[in-house]
Amino acid sequence: MNPFFPSSWLGILGGGQLGRYFSQAAQDLGYSVCVLDPDEDSPAGKIAQNFIRADYLDKVALAEFAKTCVAASTEFENVPAKVLDWLIEQNVYVAPVSRPVSIAQNRTAEKEFLSNCSKKTGIQTAPYCIITSTQDCKNIAGDMFPAILKTTRLGYDGKGQKTIKEPNDLENAWFDLGQVECILEKKLDLAFEVSAIVARSFDNEVAIFPVAQNKHRNGILHLSIVPAPSLSESQEKEILEATKTIIRELDYVGVLCVEYFVLGDGTLIVNEIAPRPHNSGHHTLDSCFTSQFEQQVRTLARLPLGKTDLIQPVVMLNLLGDIWFDDNNQLIQPEWDKVLSIPSAKLHLYGKTEPKLARKMGHINFLAENIESAMSDATLAMEILGIPKE
Ligand code: ADP
Ligand code: MG
């Protein structure tokens, strides 16, 4: 298979910040980009050479998209799988294809796939079972509790989830989630969380970024730290190997993120996969030789993968819309000048017009000699921006 050389048109389904960075990386390499997204305020739509503003199932829009692009990828996790199949029928090269994307879209399929992989990786999922009826709610063994009930579809950033203390609470929680198919997972005692981002080319070359340690707040990623300070060398090695096995087992072409939990006794647990670049890989924009987005472009254009080495330790701080509001809920402008007076800070804003509470608006990468110094700069920026310490 030949590469698609620069000045060809590459397409991206989804035009959020991930699509914006994909577009920038593609444009840096000399490609033209076509974005399909329903949102008028699409961060990627604003910079693409062609922005088709339409629903993912709009036939006329998809026909224009297919006519424009030689190859297409996705940044929106819930892009209908049949759209990817249809694009292939139109002779568009698509990576990743629908099978791995559908697995990642459905927690049941995802957990089954990951537990199958555990035979090769040695890393298990949390104990889980599938809930599709009130009868299922009554048949769960007591040792599954406390537990987390998660809808199998459309959950993200902790949405579509409920923590359940005891068996009697399960049925009500399932009703609250709309009686849709769910999985119930044993709630584990996490010491910390990490993620690994990996890329695979059409000819089975695999390149992996260093593992990130992630802190969440209210279910949303707050900080990513690389190298992961709490991970031992052998744990990091095990995670890197497992992640490479997972991407090969999925027969996946493109960029994939795999999330892991580390328990108090050092046990590793694999949690979920995302079939695209990931928020916990935004540090690569400044900290790594190749960013996760350039890697996505390379996989899509059938080019060799880039080197993934970490150039400097980094802390990534997510910026949510909350910092645009003062204590009286009045709109303010964050003090970017003060933030940018921190020498280690690389500020990224996504160009979204309307700040909203909990909306991802941007991030800052702090690059320093060591994690401690990057972390203390991140803390200083949090003070400037009014982001609470805990
Ligand atoms: P999402 O798709 O919303 O990211 P996750 O499965 O990653 O869903 O869950 C969100 C967060 O909830 C995780 O990052 C972790 O902090 C916590 N969590 C999820 N599953 C478990 C579990 N089985 N035990 C303990 N904590 C969990
Ligand atoms: Mg997650």
User: In this structure, which ligand is nearest to the CA of 214?
Assistant: 1
Confidence band (pLDDT; 50, 70, 90) for 18? very high
User: In this structure, which ligand is nearest to the CA of 144?
Assistant: 1
Q: What dihedral do alpha carbons 294, 295, 298, 302 form, nearest 10°?
A: -170
- Give the position of tokens 């941007």: 362
Pick the closest to residue 316 from 358, 281, 350 (CA basis): 281
pLDDT at 288: 98
pLDDT tops 80 at residue 282:
yes
- How far is the centre of ligand 1, averaged over its atoms, from the C-alpha of 21 (Å)? 26
Least confident of 41-45, 85-89, 131-135, 359-363: 131-135
Q: What is the pLDDT of residues 157-189, one digit of tens each?
A: 778 899 999 999 999 999 999 999 999 999 999
- How far is the centre of ligand 1, averaged over its atoms, from the C-alpha of 219 (Å)? 8
CA 199 to chain centre: 13
Which pair of structure tokens corresponds to residue 123?
């890393």
Q: Parallel, antiparallel, or unpaired: how do β-strands 314-320 and 93-94 relate?
A: unpaired
How far CA 211 is from CA of 129, 241, 307, 318, in Å, comes to 29, 11, 15, 18
pLDDT at 160: 87
Least confident of 77-86, 221-230, 322-331, 342-351: 77-86
Residue among 218, 271, 272, 318 to mutate when testing ligand 1 (max atoms within 8 A of CB): 271
Confidence band (pLDDT; 50, 70, 90) for 54? very high
Mean pLDDT value across residues 251-255? 98
Q: What is the pLDDT of residues 181-233, one digit of tens each?
A: 999 999 999 999 999 999 999 999 999 999 999 999 998 999 999 999 999 99
User: Could you identify the atom of ligand 1 that is nearest to the CA of residue 147?
Assistant: 23
pLDDT at 314: 98
pLDDT tops 90 at residue 335:
yes
User: Could you identify the atom of ligand 1 that is nearest to the CA of residue 185?
Assistant: 23
What pTM, to 2 d.p., does this model score? Answer: 0.96
- φ, ψ dihedrals at 137, nearest 5°: -65, -25
- How far is the centre of ligand 1, averaged over its atoms, from the C-alpha of 270 (Å)? 11
pLDDT at 60: 98
pLDDT at 82: 93
Distance spanning both ends of the chain, measured CA to CA: 51
Hey, what domains does the chain have and what are their CATH numbers? Answer: 9-94 (3.40.50.20), 127-186 (3.30.1490.20), 190-385 (3.30.470.20)
- How far is the centre of ligand 1, averaged over its atoms, from the C-alpha of 158 (Å)? 7
Pick the closest to residue 287 from 377, 347, 368 (CA basis): 368
pLDDT tops 90 at residue 250:
yes
Which pair of structure tokens corresponds to residue 219?
């279910």
- How far is the centre of ligand 2, averaged over its atoms, from the C-alpha of 101 (Å)? 15
- φ, ψ dihedrals at 19, nearest 5°: -65, -35
pLDDT at 76: 86
Contacts of 137 (CB under 8 A, 6+ apart): 131, 170, 171, 174
User: Could you identify the atom of ligand 1 that is nearest to the CA of residue 158?
Assistant: 3
pLDDT tops 90 at residue 389:
no
pLDDT tops 90 at residue 330:
yes
pLDDT tops 90 at residue 155:
no
Could you count the other beta carbons within 10 Å of the beta carbon of residue 98? 21
Q: Can you tell me the distance from the alpha carbon of 259 to that of 231, in angstroms, rounded to the nearest whole number?
A: 14
User: In this structure, which ligand is nearest to the CA of 104?
Assistant: 1
Confidence band (pLDDT; 50, 70, 90) for 375? very high
- Crossing angle of helices 107-121/98-105, nearest 10°? 110
Q: How many helices (H) and strands (E) does the chain have?
A: 12, 18
Q: Parallel, antiparallel, or unpaired: how do β-strands 254-263 and 345-349 relate?
A: unpaired
Confidence band (pLDDT; 50, 70, 90) for 1? confident
Lining residues, ligand 1, CB within 6 Å:
126, 148, 155-158, 185, 187-188, 190, 193, 216, 219, 259, 271-272
Residue among 261, 267, 280 to mutate when testing ligand 1 (max atoms within 8 A of CB): 261
pLDDT tops 90 at residue 300:
yes
Spell out a b/e string for 330-343, using b for 16 or more CB atoms within 10 Å of the CB, else e: eeeebeeeebeebe
Q: Can you tell me the distance from the alpha carbon of 58 to that of 52, in angstroms, rounded to the nearest whole number?
A: 10
Mean pLDDT value across residues 81-101? 96
User: In this structure, which ligand is nearest to the CA of 215?
Assistant: 1
- Crossing angle of helices 107-121/233-249, nearest 10°? 120
Q: What dihedral do alpha carbons 77, 82, 84, 87 form, nearest 10°?
A: -150
Residue nearest to atom 9 of ligand 1 (CA): 158
Residue nearest to atom 23 of ligand 1 (CA): 187
- Percent of the chain residues past pLDDT 70, beyond the cut: 100
pLDDT tops 90 at residue 237:
yes
